Amino acid sequence: MTSRVVFQGLWALAIAWLSALVAAGCGAVPDRPKTANLPSADPPASSAAVNEINQSLSMLASQTNSSPADYRIGPDDLIQITIYNIPEQEARITPRTVLLRVSQQGSVVAPLVGELPIGGMTTREAERELAKRYAKYIRDPQIGVLVTEYRQRVSVMGAVQKPGVFELTGPKSVIDMLALAGGVTEKAGNQVHLYRQDSQGRRQSAVIDLLVLASGGSAGSLATGADAAAVNMPVQGGDVINVPHAGTFFVDGAVRKPGSYPLGRHYTLTQALAMAGGADPELADYDEITIYRRRGPANTETITVDLTAVNRGAKDPTIEPDDVILVPMSGVKYFVKRFVGTIISGVSFGSFVGGS
């Protein structure tokens, strides 16, 4: 009797959470992959065009004034912490300035306050966090954080002149990294992909228009209002930048194997999704699959497809080179998989929760 009451109470709680999530527009679903700056349909056709792109990238890289405030602290970086309102005569008790090496776990051990998880923070974020910690010991602490040695690495791969792993010597952007890799080759398409893991280990991705990037952000973008700064994103340690070969398409979101795939023959949407391992039935929203396709330098076509209808005989759209296919997550499915399933394990929700 008691176990039945507990089960009913937990089930009522789960339903209440589910109702609140749906009513709020499924706000608990993780951010969808960024597709703010999509490529033109035609890849670079000649060495002259490629040389022009590379010259633009090199020129823009030389003009880039990346702010140290954009840099994310990572393992093995050496940071200097200064407490400005400690008088020099008291520095023997609490050091006014100290140099600390960031551990592989992203932490430092600072005087008085102990261990601080600093990995992934900017210097300003680290200053604010240290000020909170030191406020227990010092009135209105004035903290400065400076990165004196940069030890983060970024991989650049695909259709670039010198693919490899590059050590960051300070704040860098996507353009900076492409310039370090010698620019693109004649085999490059018009996409630049950036892959990243956030602090929770979740995969993030961005698709950037190479031609927009090489023009400093002035060659057009989606209606989301991406400007030059948004196109030329600052990179972080561990990022992977990929320049796919011409004639590829990109699949992201709730699929089993997101990434770039060669368009060796005519593919339909369902065939393209099959190349990516198929949509994840536990997470995918089949009704709102979107194909982003650039129709000119300032015109992007957005094609929304109901995959359930396609499976029932509706038209299966043909995929074109440089298409970006996004399979969004269903809020209801995500909630059931990530939250309800952790409350009541071993219960099948298929008969309780309908489609997305």
What pLDDT sits at residue 117?
Answer: 94
What pLDDT sits at residue 81?
Answer: 94
Phi/psi zone of residue 69: left (φ > 0), alpha (ψ -120 to 50 degrees), beta? alpha
What pLDDT sits at residue 336?
Answer: 45
Please, which pLDDT band fits residue 296 given cuts at 50, 70 and 90? low
What pLDDT sits at residue 319?
Answer: 92
What pLDDT sits at residue 93?
Answer: 65
Q: What are 181's two structure tokens?
A: 């890799």
Alpha helices in the chain (DSSP H): 2-23, 47-63, 123-134, 174-180, 210-214, 228-231, 269-275, 307-311, 331-335, 341-343
Phi/psi zone of residue 58: left (φ > 0), alpha (ψ -120 to 50 degrees), beta? alpha
Please, which pLDDT band fits residue 199 given cuts at 50, 70 and 90? low
What pLDDT sits at residue 304?
Answer: 93
Residue-wise pLDDT for 152-169, tens only, equals: 899 999 999 999 999 887
The pTM for the full model equals 0.66
Residue-wise pLDDT for 37-73, tens only, equals: 444 444 444 688 888 888 989 898 888 766 677 788 9
Report whether 228 contacts 217 (CB < 8 A).
yes
User: With 90 as the cut, is the pLDDT of residue 301 above it?
Assistant: no
What pLDDT sits at residue 237?
Answer: 87
Mean pLDDT of the chain, nearest integer: 77
Q: Which residue has the higher pLDDT, 7 or 115?
A: 115
User: With 50 as the cut, is the pLDDT of residue 97 above it?
Assistant: yes
CA atoms within 13 A on the CB side of 271: 14
What letter would DSSP give residue 72?
A: P
